[in-house]
Chains A and B, each alone.
Chain A
């Protein structure tokens, strides 16, 4: 486990850091406001939930639309199957997240902070609840906690608003985005827990942070969460996770809405949101998934497409029917072997579904599939008939 800035402090097995230790280590909560928003713009902090939206720009928009009625939603849904970094941060450094949330609330003139925590994340739930109880009465009055259903789309920002408003964690039609019209119609800032922890550090030092949390999963010896410096190579991160446990075929970077990279090209890639974006990649939610060489990529991709299809919230036809059709075509290729008709249908349906959901779920799934078909083109073109391997 490497612990640099976000995870500095007491050893992690100790559990959640108490308020006294947190304040003793980092000092009191600085002031939020206009100056902090401009600092976040200057330091170019981007969201760590997956979409990578510029934080300062979002805060500016919410502050401008707020007039004292805004809401801050602290997004700890962590619905991404292999991601563990948000629950680790909530379980071990809850006050860093609360600091970020309180700074956000002060900066955008919010009347309420909602902690939106994945319902299965018991350690995170307990740690955040206990941390809130340690805060002042004035801070506690601002904060409430809600449980997010353990579904992939529950972390979508419009879905978080929908759950708080109506108890249903399904995405809603945008525009307008939550930052313009969210909870109860008020401008709403939805921000991932890691992002807010970065804010808590930036507000204290006046400088940008240079670390990110990643989850290394798959064929490594000690899978788990790491805090690494931006600019660390993927190969170094994999070494920090104990090194490969067997020969690797490819890396899925950024979770299920991410991109595939052949292992040979992957190790030298730099874990830096901007550097990756320049190469058409994205750190997304920070999952580095290492697929072993003995796995069949087509079968692997078919399994993930079936998962993403099943996680459609079944609201928009193109997503509900389209992702199912795409997953079925992948599965046919995986189990019955390559069929030129299915390859054509994958292309045609991908183009048809792209951009036609209320949320980005279909787009994320299509990007994943297109990246897979590009990276594993030969495998898709020459897949033998065989039954799918068990997961």
Chain B
């Protein structure tokens, strides 16, 4: 099983530059004031490259990729 990752924003560092939402609109949209809202859940495999770029290119280094929180197994 491949590792699953999600994006985490440091809300204090984040300045609302908006680069991340331009790089990865599939996962990140901006709120009414220009700050990122991350779609819940792990990053789809095919977007991992762009997600890494959003992390690397953030001018204030406010985004990180971290291991997705373990989903509780659904009760059958």
- Chain A contacts to B: CB under 8 angstroms: 172-173, 315-319, 321-322, 325, 348-349, 352-353, 356-358
Please tell me if the beta carbons of B11 and A352 are within 8 angstroms of each other in the complex. no
User: Is the CB–CB distance between A317 and B10 below 8 Å?
Assistant: no
Interface residues of B in 9-56 (CB under 8 A from A): 10-16, 31-35, 37
A356 & B35 in contact (Cβ 8 Å cutoff): yes
Per DSSP, are chain A's interface residues mostly helix, strand or loop, or mixed? helix
> Can you give 15 contacting A-B residue pairs, CB < 8 Å?
A173-B10, A173-B11, A315-B11, A316-B11, A317-B11, A318-B35, A321-B33, A322-B32, A322-B33, A325-B33, A348-B32, A356-B31, A357-B11, A358-B11, A358-B12
State in angstroms the CA–CA spacing of A353 and B33 once bound together: 10
Residues of chain A lying within 8 A (CB to CB) of residue B15: 317
CA distance A318 to B10 in the complex (A): 12
Contact B14 A316 (CB under 8 A): yes
Known: A356-B11, A356-B37. Is A317-B32 also a contact (CB below 8 A)? no
**Structural contact, A318 and B31, CB atoms closer than 8 A:** yes
Number of residue pairs spanning A and B whose beta carbons lie under 8 angstroms apart: 45
* Bound Cα distance A325, B37 (Å): 17
3 closest A-B pairs (Cβ-Cβ)?
A316-B11, A321-B33, A317-B35
List A contacts of B14 (CB < 8 A): 316-317
Which chain B residues border A321 with CB–CB below 8 Å? Answer: 32-33, 35
| CA A348 to CA B33, docked complex, whole Å | 13
In the bound complex, how far is the Cα of B12 from the Cα of A319, in angstroms? 10
By the criterion CB–CB under 8 Å, are B16 and A317 in contact? yes
Contacts of A348 in B (CB 8 A): 32
**B12 to A316, Cβ gap below 8 A?**
yes
Contact A352 B32 (CB under 8 A): yes
Whether the Cβ atoms of A318 and B12 lie closer than 8 Å is no
Of the candidates A173, A315, A352, A358, the one whose C-beta lies within 8 Å of that of B31 is A352
Closest to B9 in A: A356
Q: Does A322 lie within 8 Å of B11, measured CB to CB?
A: no
- A82 to B46 CA separation, bound complex (whole angstroms): 53
- Which residues of B are found within 8 Å of A316, using beta-carbon distances? 11-12, 14, 35
- A sample of 8 more A-B contacts (CB under 8 A), given A173-B13, A316-B11, is A315-B12, A317-B16, A318-B35, A325-B33, A348-B32, A356-B37, A357-B11, A358-B12
